[in-house]
């Protein structure tokens, strides 16, 4: 197989992984937390551990890449972490992160760790001893474009819309709103439009994240953030039956009674939550006398959920004021 054919095969693998990104889980090689989606995984390394890995779009065999990193971190028969850059033994996760930060061993890519190179997409050799980066980049770009084109030709159809996960159960569906009506008698759009506290799409995002959090915790969304006799009563009812059973008898309890106005509830509880995307981009939810047409004309403002880094910076700014 020629270098160009190898590069084409690598690009096809990356394209295929991008198409399946919403359903792929990646365990962190350091803490073993499972993260949904490759972009969420890269962000996890950066935010939680201060580590910058190779961009996953530059890695052809991502499973092999991560497995090799894990084997460098925890060599066979050794219970201590080792820096994958220099091999120094560290007592634990915190010690490893501190070591990497102090010595600048925070870039875990093929340049810092040459043994990762076989798993990455490499430039096509020009046949000369000197690397001609501009020509290689041009060739690589053309091959990637061709890989996308070939993938479309093979599929011979448009990419399907990603399914969303139900707010009340683990079911995924391309029509999650209809599923919730039929399976749980929960008309999300109607409930949101009737809620007096909903003023804009940000409130809708907060509601989605609150419901997901309460379902995960087995608590009543209606009393989110409350410590009241009514909230305690709901806790007893749910403990004696289930949250779904409780919501069937108390349908108004599917939404929080009061909607917070802070940033905390804007952070998605489910990484890559396609339900939020479908509501924001394709939903028609009335706010008072207006109608939110978030899938409208070009140039329209789209609400952006702040990232964890932006929220952290905001809190630091407030603390320093």
| 150: its two tokens | 């070939």
Query: Between the CA atoms of 311, 37, 182 and 216, what dihedral angle is there, to the nearest 10 degrees?
Result: -60
Q: Which conformational region is residue 212 in: left (phi greater than 0), alpha (psi within -120 to 50 degrees), or beta?
A: alpha
The answer to whether the beta carbons of residues 185 and 248 sit under 8 Å apart is yes
Handedness of CA 55, 56, 60, 66 (dihedral sign): positive
Please report, in tens digits, the pLDDT of each residue of the chain (321 residues total): 566 676 677 777 777 787 777 778 889 999 999 988 888 888 899 898 999 988 888 888 888 889 999 999 998 878 899 999 999 999 888 999 999 989 999 999 988 999 998 888 754 343 444 444 455 455 555 555 555 555 555 544 454 567 889 999 989 988 889 999 999 999 999 999 889 888 888 899 999 999 999 998 899 999 998 889 999 999 999 999 899 999 999 999 999 999 998 888 888 888 778 888 887 666 556 665 444 443 444 444 445 555 555 555 665 666 544
| 254: its two tokens | 């599917």
The answer to whether the beta carbons of residues 45 and 52 sit under 8 Å apart is yes
How far apart CA 321 and CA 218 sit, in angstroms, is 38
Helix axes 133-155, 3-19, angle to 10 degrees: 50
Quick one: pLDDT at residue 105?
93
Q: Which residue do the tokens 């001893």 mark?
A: 129
Quick one: pLDDT at residue 166?
93
| 319: its two tokens | 């603390």
How far apart CA 35 and CA 2 sit, in angstroms, is 35
Q: Which residue do the tokens 């950066």 mark?
A: 46
CA-nearest of 203, 198, 224, 212 to 272 is 212
The answer to whether the beta carbons of residues 59 and 120 sit under 8 Å apart is yes
What is the three-class DSSP state of 312?
helix
Quick one: pLDDT at residue 266?
86
How far apart CA 292 and CA 307 sit, in angstroms, is 23
| Start-end of H helices in the chain | 3-19, 38-44, 62-73, 93-103, 133-155, 176-184, 188-194, 201-217, 229-240, 243-249, 274-282, 308-320
What is the three-class DSSP state of 165?
strand
The answer to whether the beta carbons of residues 30 and 94 sit under 8 Å apart is no
Give the domain ranges of the chain. 3-124, 164-282
Beta-carbon-side half-sphere exposure of residue 273 (alpha carbons within 13 Å): 20
Quick one: pLDDT at residue 284?
58
Quick one: pLDDT at residue 273?
84
Handedness of CA 165, 38, 63, 17 (dihedral sign): positive
What is the three-class DSSP state of 291?
strand
The answer to whether the beta carbons of residues 204 and 216 sit under 8 Å apart is no
Intra-chain end-to-end CA distance of the chain, in Å: 61
């Amino acid at each position: 197989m020629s270098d160009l054919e190898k590069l084409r095969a690598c690009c096809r693998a990356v394209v295929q992984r991008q198409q399946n990104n919403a359903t792929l889980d990646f365990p962190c090689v350091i803490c073993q937390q499972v993260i949904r989606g490759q972009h969420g995984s890269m962000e996890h390394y950066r935010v939680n551990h201060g580590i910058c890995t190779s961009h996953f779009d530059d890695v052809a065999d991502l499973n092999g890449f991560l497995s090799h990193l894990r084997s460098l971190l925890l060599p066979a028969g050794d219970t201590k972490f080792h820096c994958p850059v220099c091999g120094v033994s560290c007592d634990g996760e915190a010690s490893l992160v501190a070591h990497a930060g102090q010595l600048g061993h925070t870039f875990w890519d093929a340049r810092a760790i040459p043994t990762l190179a076989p798993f990455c997409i490499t430039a096509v050799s020009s046949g000369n001893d000197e690397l001609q980066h501009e020509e290689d980049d041009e060739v690589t770009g053309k091959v990637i474009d061709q890989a996308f084109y070939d993938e479309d030709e093979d599929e011979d159809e448009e990419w399907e819309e990603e399914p969303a996960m139900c707010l009340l159960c683990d079911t995924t569906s391309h029509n999650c709103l209809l599923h919730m009506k039929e399976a749980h008698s929960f008309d999300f759009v109607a409930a949101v439009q009737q809620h007096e506290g909903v003023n804009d799409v940000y409130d809708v995002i907060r509601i989605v994240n609150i419901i997901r959090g309460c379902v995960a915790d087995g608590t009543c969304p209606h009393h989110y953030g409350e410590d009241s006799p009514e909230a305690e009563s709901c806790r007893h009812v749910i403990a004696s039956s289930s949250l779904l059973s409780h919501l069937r008898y108390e349908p108004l309890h599917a939404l929080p009674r009061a909607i917070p106005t802070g940033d905390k509830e804007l952070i998605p509880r489910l990484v890559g939550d396609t339900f939020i995307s479908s509501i924001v981009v394709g939903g028609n939810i009335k706010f008072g006398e207006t109608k939110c047409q978030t899938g409208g004309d070009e140039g329209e403002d789209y609400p952006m959920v702040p990232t964890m880094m932006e929220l952290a910076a905001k809190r630091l700014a407030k603390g320093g004021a």
